Structure 1
Amino acid sequence: MAAAEPPATGGFFGMLSFRRSATAVASFDPAQDDELLALDALQSHVADRLAALLSDAQQQQGPVLSIGFLSKLLDSVCSSDASFRNVVAVAPVAAALSRPPADRLARDLLDRSVKTLDVLNAASLTLASLRGAHRAALTAASCLLPAPKSRAQFARARRAIARIGGDESNKLVSASPSAPSPCSRSMRALSLSVSRNWSAGRHMNAMAAHLAPPPPLPSQVGAGCGLGLTLYTMSSVLVFAMWALVAAVPCQDRASAAINPPVAPPKQAQWAQAMAALQDRIADEWRRKDKKLPPGSGGGGSSSSAIGTAGAGGLLAEMQAVERAARDLNSLLEEIAEDDEEEVHGMVSEERAREVTERAEELAAACRALEEGLAPLERQVRAVFHRVVSFRSDLVRCIDNTARTNAAASATPQHHSF
């Protein structure tokens, strides 16, 4: 057993520095000690998961928001939910959910869970819409493989590349419930539709509004604040995960989202450093990507400037790879079209054909990487959607039950470690 640690005195965070040491056990009865351990378990779990994500991000040279990273982030949301359920399964902790100050934080968490469902729904529709861009890029590559022979093949490839930045990829996201597209029928598991005036940016700003750790109570150090920190931690996990998802995929009206990190965790929290570092990394990539967008990326312009509109500002690494390969290939095809305008037979040199083949192979490889990860990510987003629905229902049920129990047993008040 580890050596006893002196209790910290830094407000309610000091309570979370206790471990099952001689000092902690001597300070509380066994039931209260179990409460502390359950509360601290969530903090440790979130800290471990975010530290693992940060380690993965630090090892990546390119964009951090890859399909693999998002998959691990969404898995962290689910596992944090499981850890949170273990906390509220402790009877005295559950009993405090309907009492101040935890009741207000619980209501905030319930509200953020509803907004989380909206973001997950929009992201799911957006991921489905990326299939249109993927098909266009794959068509462009297939026109030029195994070896292009004529400018007619180049023209077909250029038309396919132009569709990557066309309006097709945005139809699914902006579709109204009265006019569902064929792809949207696969999203029936999700209960919400994305209207034309829905804004991912305004939604994320609303999720992050008033997100602050609970203040320590002046009357008793740590009283009521361990559970408060647990509720704040779950809200922070949801806000950070949805912000990263909106940063990765081009959700509707994503541009109005604040680029600045949405969560400002207190330094004393175990998970604060890892989350802050991840937010800074994502925010930096977001700013760099927005600066690189062409002035006409919102629509119109030449075919080469339109490429990337489907993922305008989106940081999903695999989609960026497709856009980058498509731009490179399209630039080469435009050069050939300008150089060979006077060519009578419409044929190209072997050297040019070989260069085009290499670029087309790069585009095909990027398409394969996107295709392999997109469907599993869609399924995981839908799974997290249903997990959050269950989480919210269980939390509402727990609050209602404890409120009735507290009202029925309003005898002698008891003091707990949280």
Structure 2
Amino acid sequence: MKREQVHSVPSVEVGHNDDHRDHHESTAPEVDELESFQLLVAAKFNHLLASSCNEDLLSLVWIRKLLDAFLCCLEEFRVILFNNKTSTHLADDFFERSLKALDICNATRDGIERIKQWQRHLEIVLSALDSRQRVLGDGQLRRARKALVDLTLAMLDEKEGGSAFVFSHRNRSFGRHNNAKDHHRPGHSRSLSWSVSRSWSAAKQLQSIVNNLVPPRANEIATTNGFAISVFTMTWVLLFVLWAIVAAIPCQDRGLQIHFNIPHHFPWGSPILLMHDKIMEESKKREKRNSNGLLKEIHQIEIGARQMMDLVDSAHPPLSEQQKTKVEQGVQELALVCEVLQNGLDPLERHVREVFHRIMSCRTDGLELLGPGSSAE
């Protein structure tokens, strides 16, 4: 991996490859720590980029790898944050942006609930068309057709019907079960309402995070001993992860038109930009309307349900051997999708919950450490 110098500031040569450099010289320990953080982020996102070059892109498995990478980066950033207690305005800036991530986590959980609802419709279809039945009659076909129609209606975009489902579940939040004492801690999040409002917009939330997100200047890097670079890096990690989740999972007022402007001299910039381009390509290919999300399994549900509807509509008992074979093949394909959803949705929800609490914990503990005057509220 090519490693380049982020800025021409002698004391903070993040990512600079110098084989002759003696790490035992009188270099400040935090400089090595900051450089290691840059390389860690680059390694994590290069690994994700490699995973996105095959069928895994935007799958449940890939999204969980993305969240793992985020949690690892956040933990390393937390150590750096606690070792740089003087740069409170930079920490406040990150905390203010991370605050917005909590609502996206809640909205993502609502989106996962929607996919579970679609899964239940698929399970009815599979039950109705179970090949172990001796005869596939009118009753079974009607039951399967009704479940497929219900699934189609449930997968309409939020403007036409999805918002009613989401809003009905908007009385829960990952932050709901916090201890009462947390509400009196410095930095308690004003976003820890039980859910987002009906007028909430994922697109606007993402835009508010990227607004005024610019690389630190040389003098700011120098005066903060390089901490400004770490804040900029972690903010971009946060933004990309949230943007990819909103792209994949059904979310209220989804929108992907966020301008990604990362200087290429950051070692992690290239993999993030390449993955951004890949996701935008998928968006153009697969999403005529900004509705259900780009998750690979959602695409499989849409294709499988459409094909099964065509089969059920054209089937009239008694079914011919050719019709039986086609129905059985369709059932097998839907069963595979259901199995992936069965095994992947609950772990994903737990992953998103962990992201929520780690962000909240980092923010709360950071504000306590830096003092009440640093609160971003």
Secondary structure of 2:102's counterpart equals helix
The question of 1:78 aligning with 2:32 is answered no
Q: Which runs of 5+ in 2 are unaligned?
A: 155-160, 179-191
In the alignment of these two chains, the number of paired residues is 350
Q: 2:47 aligns with which of 52, 66, 91?
A: 52
| 1:327-384 deviation per Cα after TM superposition (whole angstroms, max 9, x unaligned) | 1111122233xxx5xxxxx432232122112111211121111111001000111111
The answer to whether the 8 A contact 2:122-2:148 is kept is yes
**What's the counterpart of residue 266 of structure 1?**
263
The question of 1:111 aligning with 2:104 is answered no
**What's the counterpart of residue 94 of structure 1?**
85
Which residue identity does 1:258 align to in structure 2?
L
The question of 1:241 aligning with 2:250 is answered no
**Larger Rg, first or second structure (1 or 2):** 1
The answer to whether the 8 A contact 1:7-1:23 is kept is no
Task: Flag the 1:16–1:352 CA change in 2: closer, same or farther, 3 A.
Answer: same
Q: CA deviation at 1:186?
A: 8.9
The question of 1:137 aligning with 2:122 is answered yes
Q: Report the RMSD for the aligned CA atoms in angstroms.
A: 3.0
**What's the counterpart of residue 213 of structure 1?**
215
The question of 1:163 aligning with 2:142 is answered no
Task: Flag the 1:166–1:386 CA change in 2: closer, same or farther, 3 A.
Answer: same
Task: Flag the 1:250–1:234 CA change in 2: closer, same or farther, 3 A.
Answer: same
Q: CA deviation at 1:106?
A: 2.4
Inter-partner Cα distance in structure 2 for 1:271 and 1:122: 28
Task: Flag the 1:7–1:238 CA change in 2: closer, same or farther, 3 A.
Answer: closer
Q: CA deviation at 1:13?
A: 9.9
Inter-partner Cα distance in structure 2 for 1:224 and 1:282: 35
Q: CA deviation at 1:16?
A: 1.2
Inter-partner Cα distance in structure 1 for 2:276 and 2:199: 27
Task: Flag the 1:9–1:49 CA change in 2: closer, same or farther, 3 A.
Answer: closer
The answer to whether the 8 A contact 2:108-2:251 is kept is yes
Inter-partner Cα distance in structure 1 for 2:59 and 2:270: 21
The answer to whether the 8 A contact 2:4-2:15 is kept is no
Of stretches 226-235 and 161-170 in structure 1, the one that deviates more from structure 2 is: 161-170
**What's the counterpart of residue 286 of structure 1?**
283
Q: 1:173 aligns with which of 155, 166, 169?
A: 166
Q: 1:42 aligns with which of 23, 37, 43?
A: 37
**What's the counterpart of residue 137 of structure 2?**
150
Task: Flag the 1:37–1:74 CA change in 2: closer, same or farther, 3 A.
Answer: same
Q: CA deviation at 1:29?
A: 3.1
**What's the counterpart of residue 328 of structure 1?**
307
The answer to whether the 8 A contact 1:20-1:37 is kept is no
The question of 1:68 aligning with 2:57 is answered no
Q: CA deviation at 1:22?
A: 6.1
| 1:248-284 deviation per Cα after TM superposition (whole angstroms, max 9, x unaligned) | 1010111xx2335x43221111111111111111111
Inter-partner Cα distance in structure 1 for 2:260 and 2:23: 34
**What's the counterpart of residue 357 of structure 2?**
386
**What's the counterpart of residue 227 of structure 1?**
227
Inter-partner Cα distance in structure 2 for 1:9 and 1:186: 39
| 1:371-409 deviation per Cα after TM superposition (whole angstroms, max 9, x unaligned) | 110010001111111111001112212332897xxxxxx
The answer to whether the 8 A contact 2:125-2:148 is kept is yes
Q: 1:372 aligns with which of 314, 332, 343?
A: 343
The question of 1:314 aligning with 2:293 is answered yes
Q: Percent identity?
A: 28
The answer to whether the 8 A contact 2:5-2:265 is kept is no
Q: CA deviation at 1:20?
A: 8.7
Task: Flag the 1:334–1:49 CA change in 2: closer, same or farther, 3 A.
Answer: same
Inter-partner Cα distance in structure 2 for 1:8 and 1:164: 50
The answer to whether the 8 A contact 1:136-1:163 is kept is yes
Inter-partner Cα distance in structure 2 for 1:227 and 1:17: 14
The answer to whether the 8 A contact 1:173-1:194 is kept is no
Inter-partner Cα distance in structure 1 for 2:110 and 2:11: 40
The answer to whether the 8 A contact 2:114-2:250 is kept is no
Task: Flag the 1:13–1:158 CA change in 2: closer, same or farther, 3 A.
Answer: farther
Inter-partner Cα distance in structure 1 for 2:119 and 2:362: 34
The answer to whether the 8 A contact 1:74-1:381 is kept is yes
Which residue identity does 1:349 align to in structure 2?
S
Of stretches 386-395 and 282-291 in structure 1, the one that deviates more from structure 2 is: 282-291
Task: Flag the 1:7–1:50 CA change in 2: closer, same or farther, 3 A.
Answer: closer
Task: Flag the 1:375–1:12 CA change in 2: closer, same or farther, 3 A.
Answer: farther
Which residue identity does 1:327 align to in structure 2?
R
Inter-partner Cα distance in structure 1 for 2:173 and 2:79: 36
Which residue identity does 1:129 align to in structure 2?
R
The question of 1:29 aligning with 2:31 is answered no
Name the TM-score, length of structure 1 as normaliser: 0.76
The answer to whether the 8 A contact 2:15-2:267 is kept is no
**What's the counterpart of residue 197 of structure 2?**
195
Larger RCO (CA within 8 A; separation ≥ 6)? 2
The answer to whether the 8 A contact 1:7-1:17 is kept is yes
Q: CA deviation at 1:229?
A: 0.8
Inter-partner Cα distance in structure 2 for 1:176 and 1:81: 29
Name the TM-score, length of structure 2 as normaliser: 0.83
